[in-house]
Homo-oligomer: A and B are copies of this chain.
Amino acid sequence: MKSSFPPDPELLALNTVTVREKWTLRETIDGCARHRFRGISFSRDRLAEIGVKEAGKAARGSGLTVAGLWGAGRFPASDRRARQAAIDDTRRAVDEAATLEARFLAIVAGSLPGESKDLAGAREMVRDGIGEVLDHARAVGVPVAIEAQHPMHCASQSCVNSLAQALDLCDELDRGGAALGVAVDVYHVWWDPQLERQIERAGDKRLLAFQISDWLPSSKDMLADRGMMGDGVIELPLVRSWMEAVGYRGFHEVEILSAANWWRRDPDEVLATCRVRHQTAS
Bitwise interface map of A from 149 to 175 toward B, beta carbon under 8 Å scored 1, else 0: 011101110010110110010000000
Q: Choose from B123, B152, B219 the contact partner of A150 (Cβ within 8 Å).
A: B152
A222 and B208 CA atoms in complex are apart in Å by: 30
Q: Are A117 and B161 CB-contacts (below 8 A) given A112-B217, A220-B221?
A: no
A233 within 8 A of partner (CB):
yes
Closest to A230 in B: B117
A42 within 8 A of partner (CB):
no
A260 within 8 A of partner (CB):
no
Shortest distance in angstroms between A202's beta carbon and chain B's nearest beta carbon? 16
Each complex incorporates copies of this chain amounting to 2
A123 and B234 CA atoms in complex are apart in Å by: 14
Bitwise interface map of A from 115 to 126 toward B, beta carbon under 8 Å scored 1, else 0: 011110001000
A268 within 8 A of partner (CB):
no
CB within 8 Å of B: which residues of A? Answer: 112, 116-119, 123, 150-152, 154-156, 159, 161-162, 164-165, 168, 190-193, 215, 217, 219-223, 232-235
A113 and B93 CA atoms in complex are apart in Å by: 44
Shortest distance in angstroms between A226's beta carbon and chain B's nearest beta carbon? 13
Q: Choose from B117, B152, B215, B223 the contact partner of A233 (Cβ within 8 Å).
A: B117
List chain B residues, Cβ under 8 A from A235: 117-119
List chain B residues, Cβ under 8 A from A233: 112, 116-117, 119, 155
Shortest distance in angstroms between A219's beta carbon and chain B's nearest beta carbon? 7
Shortest distance in angstroms between A37's beta carbon and chain B's nearest beta carbon? 25
Q: Choose from B161, B192, B221, B234 the contact partner of A191 (Cβ within 8 Å).
A: B161
Could you name 11 residue pairs across A and B whose Cβ atoms are closer than 8 Å?
Answer: A117-B235, A119-B191, A119-B235, A154-B190, A154-B215, A155-B191, A161-B191, A161-B193, A162-B193, A164-B193, A220-B223
Q: Choose from B191, B217, B222, B234 the contact partner of A220 (Cβ within 8 Å).
A: B222
List chain B residues, Cβ under 8 A from A112: 217, 233
Cβ-defined contact, A152 with B119, below 8 A? no
A132 and B217 CA atoms in complex are apart in Å by: 28
Cβ-defined contact, B162 with A123, below 8 A? no
A222 and B220 CA atoms in complex are apart in Å by: 5
